[in-house]
């Protein structure tokens, strides 16, 4: 009954979702491209197909090392990467070019999923983190397609939510073939909400297996050379409500270090223009990367391109990870930590609680409450290079000592196929 009611509800709201998508496409034309994918109308694919679903940019980046290992193991397989967002697919294309296939994930109506499965005929469905879509999972299992939840995490709040509808959610949870959980507390929560206990394994987070390709390292070195030794800090994946605070922190930093540069990278491309205007309204000089403008004489360098955040982290001395000064839950701090630079975040990091706890345990990250506190630490670190480098080494050490989840995940996938 739950499945029927859920499917009927999704069918009813689908026209409004598609209309909203079309409307948003006025400012982000990529959203209107391949709109048929959203109802399952994708090109037919040769087999065997491994379907890797990652909701957006962060999950796509986390999936990348796994995809590279799978391709190395079997160059004949077809990897189909799907995402819900245009930014997620743009990130995937940036990393893999024509080595894999791409599509927007279908919305979770029975017809959309059925059409998608008919055309792609996947051998496996690998879902990154916690994208639990009832029709996607149930229909895949009905066709004998194993469903793997990789790098899986589940907050206590989400677990309580599933617990309130446990009898309704149970058939979906029991359809999951394998959960590779980030930590024991995540595994316990998945067992609690109905996943078969012996199908839940703690592998650790694949995000610790930070993969920085040689071309990205070289591009970061080249940009760093252009900046001629200036103090550089980056605010990555920022959201509305954070930019003003970060600009305030930068203006305070400029009083003590007039040559400092802020690389500001908004999370969503539709905000690029408004953030550029906000910078200018503060009286700060801005250079936009998308226009090829030289950052040498600017006070703020706007990272308004897609798929370059990892490289921009590598060109910086200190990193702030966005989505954390507001109640968004934060983004992945391991990307800058993998470069061996100090990492800062605001207090709202519940999306990455396990990762942040391990960094905090080894003093590899600093949580700040507001712009003033952030500015104080930035001024201190740029005044004491040796301390800054020591903090960066601690962050990198946390990354290195927690590597290994990727091999467990790849082996687990291969064993279960």
Torsion 363-351-367-318 (CA) sign: positive
Length of the chain, in residues: 417
DSSP bridge pairs for 122: 49
DSSP-derived pairing of the beta strands 300-302 and 200-202? unpaired
DSSP-derived pairing of the beta strands 232-238 and 261-266? parallel
Task: Compute the distance between CA of residue 39 and CA of residue 190 in angstroms, rounded to an integer.
Answer: 29
CA dihedral 88, 266, 387, 383 (to 10 degrees): 160
Do residues 317 and 294 make contact, with C-beta atoms less than 8 angstroms apart? no
List residues with catalytic annotation. Answer: 59
Q: How many CA atoms does the CB half-sphere of 103 hold within 13 Å?
A: 26
Task: Compute the distance between CA of residue 284 and CA of residue 239 in angstroms, rounded to an integer.
Answer: 19
Q: What are the Cα distances from residue 239, in Å, to 185, 226, 270, 362?
A: 29, 28, 11, 28
Do residues 406 and 69 make contact, with C-beta atoms less than 8 angstroms apart? yes
DSSP letters spanning 86-101: HHHHHHHHHHHGGGSE
Task: Compute the distance between CA of residue 389 and CA of residue 178 in angstroms, rounded to an integer.
Answer: 40
SS3 letters across 156-176:
HHHHHHHHHCHHHHHHHHCCC
DSSP bridge pairs for 104: 83
Do residues 50 and 70 make contact, with C-beta atoms less than 8 angstroms apart? yes
């Amino acid at each position: 009954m739950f499945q029927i009611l859920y499917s009927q509800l999704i069918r009813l709201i689908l026209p409004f979702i598609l209309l909203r998508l079309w409307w948003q496409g006025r400012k982000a034309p990529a959203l209107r491209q391949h709109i048929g994918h959203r109802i399952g109308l994708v090109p037919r694919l040769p087999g065997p197909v491994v379907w890797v679903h990652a909701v957006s940019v962060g999950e796509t980046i986390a999936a990348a090392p796994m995809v590279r290992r799978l391709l190395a193991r079997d160059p004949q397989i077809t990897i189909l990467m799907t995402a819900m967002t245009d930014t997620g697919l743009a990130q995937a294309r940036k990393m893999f070019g024509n080595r894999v296939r791409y599509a927007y994930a279908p919305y979770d109506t029975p017809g959309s999923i059925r059409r998608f499965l008919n055309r792609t005929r996947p051998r496996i469905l690998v879902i990154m983190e916690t994208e639990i879509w009832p029709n996607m999972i149930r229909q895949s299992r009905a066709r004998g397609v194993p469903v793997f939840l990789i790098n899986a995490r589940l907050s206590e709040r989400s677990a309580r939510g599933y617990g309130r509808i446990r009898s309704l959610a149970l058939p979906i949870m029991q359809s999951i073939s394998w959960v590779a959980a980030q930590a024991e507390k995540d595994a316990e929560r998945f067992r609690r909400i109905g996943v078969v206990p012996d199908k839940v394994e703690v592998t650790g987070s694949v995000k610790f297996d930070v993969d920085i390709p040689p071309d990205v390292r070289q591009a970061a070195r080249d940009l760093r050379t252009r900046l001629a030794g200036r103090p550089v800090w980056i605010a990555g994946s920022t959201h509305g409500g954070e930019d003003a605070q970060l600009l305030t922190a930068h203006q305070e930093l400029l009083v003590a270090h007039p040559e400092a540069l802020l690389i500001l990278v908004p999370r969503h491309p539709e905000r690029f223009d408004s953030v550029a205007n906000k910078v200018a309204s503060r009286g700060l000089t801005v250079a936009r990367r998308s226009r090829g403008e030289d950052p040498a004489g600017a006070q703020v360098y706007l990272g308004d391109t897609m798929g370059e955040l990892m490289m921009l982290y590598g060109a910086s001395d200190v990193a702030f990870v966005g989505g954390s000064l507001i109640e968004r839950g934060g983004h992945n701090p391991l990307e800058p930590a993998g470069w061996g630079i100090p990492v800062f975040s605001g207090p709202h990091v519940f999306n990455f609680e396990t990762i942040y706890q391990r960094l905090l345990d080894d003093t590899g990250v600093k949580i700040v409450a507001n712009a003033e506190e952030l500015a104080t630490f930035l001024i201190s670190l740029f005044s004491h290079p040796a301390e800054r480098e020591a903090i960066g080494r601690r962050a990198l050490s946390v990354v290195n000592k927690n590597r290994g989840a990727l091999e467990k995940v790849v082996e687990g996938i291969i064993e279960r196929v």
